[in-house]
């Protein structure tokens, strides 16, 4: 049966330094490009149909380096809008808001001194949940198609974690339960007619279903 494959983009400078990254379109680091190329062989072993990718260059570049073709850009796969916390680490936020939690509190808008502040109001968990629900509705016919071809989504850490929660029937805040590292692939399938997790946060050696080994930790973006 078809599975939903979730690919997080390779490493960037800000993912490496734990800075929240949404609209800032940083390129992959050399290591990030190497990580993406390592996905090529295992992904080639899958029967892939629809491929949706975030409009950000780091996601598109990862998809192409991983050998994915016929990409369709899906704006709803862009990362959680971090508003005023763009480029800021969680440790820095906790200096002034020690109890802050992205998954329940969301983020404030970008300040008026930011040139693009009007375009980045920040997002609540509910708002990003609405976005990923639209993606899930869009891909539902492809996942149900008789040809059994997988659907691949190439995007970012937090948006894919929220999408996973919603696919499994959980609230957006439950994305906090699913750590997701750079250049990993996760597989969502089904059991007894219900969505189920098949493999999570696995490295290139495990994507084709030969096992599951988590990669090193990096934050979302």
- Residue 203's pLDDT is what? 78
Which of the two residues, 110 and 53, has the higher pLDDT score? 53
Two tokens, residue 191: 């059991």
pTM above threshold 0.85? yes
- The pLDDT value recorded for residue 217 is 39
Backbone angles phi, psi at 15, to 5 degrees: -65, -35
- Residue among 2, 26, 1, 5 at smallest CA distance from 163: 5
Token pair for 209: 């279903």
Domain assignments of the chain as residue spans, ordered by start: 4-83+126-206
Report the sign of the C-alpha dihedral through residues 88, 15, 151, 200, in that order.
Answer: negative
Residue 190: strand pairing partners: 195
218 pLDDT above the threshold of 70: no
Active site residue 117: no
30-45, pLDDT tens digit by residue? 999 999 999 998 899 9
- pLDDT band at residue 109 using 50, 70 and 90 as cut-offs: confident
Q: Is the pLDDT of residue 55 over 70?
A: yes
Tokens matching residue 180: 């997701």
Phi, psi of 218 (to 5 degrees): -145, 155
Give percent of the chain with pLDDT exceeding 90.
82
d(CA 89, CA 189): 33
Phi-psi region of 70 (alpha: psi -120 to 50; beta: other; left: phi over 0): left
Q: What is the pLDDT of residue 216?
A: 36
Largest interatomic CA distance in the chain:
53
- Exactly one of 3, 11, 74, 79 is catalytic; which is it? 79
- Written as one string, the DSSP assignment of the chain is ---EEEEE---BHHHHTTB--SS--PPBPHHHHHHHHHTHHHHHTS-EEEEEE-SSHHHHHHHHHTT--S-EE-GGGSPP--GGGTT-BHHHHHHH-TT--HHHH--PPPPTTSTTGGG-----HHHHHHHHHHHHHHHHHHHH-TT--EEEEEE-HHHHHHHHHHHTT--GGGGGG----TT-EEEEEEETTEEEEEEEEE-GGGTTTT---B-------
* pLDDT tens track for 170-191: 999 999 999 999 999 999 999 9
Query: 120 versus 90: which is more confidently predicted?
Result: 90
What was the pLDDT predicted at 168?
Answer: 98
In tens, the pLDDT along 116-149 reads 656 788 999 999 999 999 999 999 999 999 999 9
The reported pLDDT for the residue numbered 14 is 96
pLDDT, tens digit, for every residue of 156-171?
999 999 999 999 999 9
Q: What is the mean pLDDT of residues 76-84?
A: 95
Q: Which fold has domain 4-83+126-206?
A: Rossmann fold (3.40.50)
| Mean pLDDT of the region 24-33 | 96
158 flagged as catalytic: no
């Amino acid at each position: 049966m078809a599975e939903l494959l979730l690919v997080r983009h390779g490493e960037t400078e800000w993912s490496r330094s734990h800075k929240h990254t949404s609209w800032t379109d940083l390129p992959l680091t050399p290591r990030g490009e190497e990580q993406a190329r390592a996905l090529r062989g295992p992904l080639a072993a899958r029967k892939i149909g629809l491929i949706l990718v975030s409009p950000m260059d780091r996601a598109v570049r990862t998809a192409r380096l991983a050998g994915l073709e016929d990409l369709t850009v899906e704006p709803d796969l862009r990362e959680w809008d971090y508003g005023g916390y763009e480029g800021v680490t969680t440790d820095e936020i906790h200096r002034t808001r020690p109890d802050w939690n992205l998954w329940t509190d969301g983020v404030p808008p970008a300040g008026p001194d930011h040139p693009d502040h009007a375009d980045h109001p920040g997002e609540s968990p509910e708002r990003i949940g609405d976005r990923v629900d639209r993606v899930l509705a869009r891909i539902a016919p492809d996942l149900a198609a008789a040809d059994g071809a997988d659907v691949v989504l190439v995007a970012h850490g937090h948006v894919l974690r929220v999408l996973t929660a919603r696919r499994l029937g959980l609230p957006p805040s439950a994305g906090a339960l699913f750590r997701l590292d750079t250049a990993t692939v996760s597989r969502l399938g089904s059991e007894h007619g219900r969505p189920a997790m098949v493999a999570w946060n696995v490295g290139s050696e495990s994507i084709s279903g030969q096992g599951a080994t988590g990669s090193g930790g990096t934050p979302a973006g």
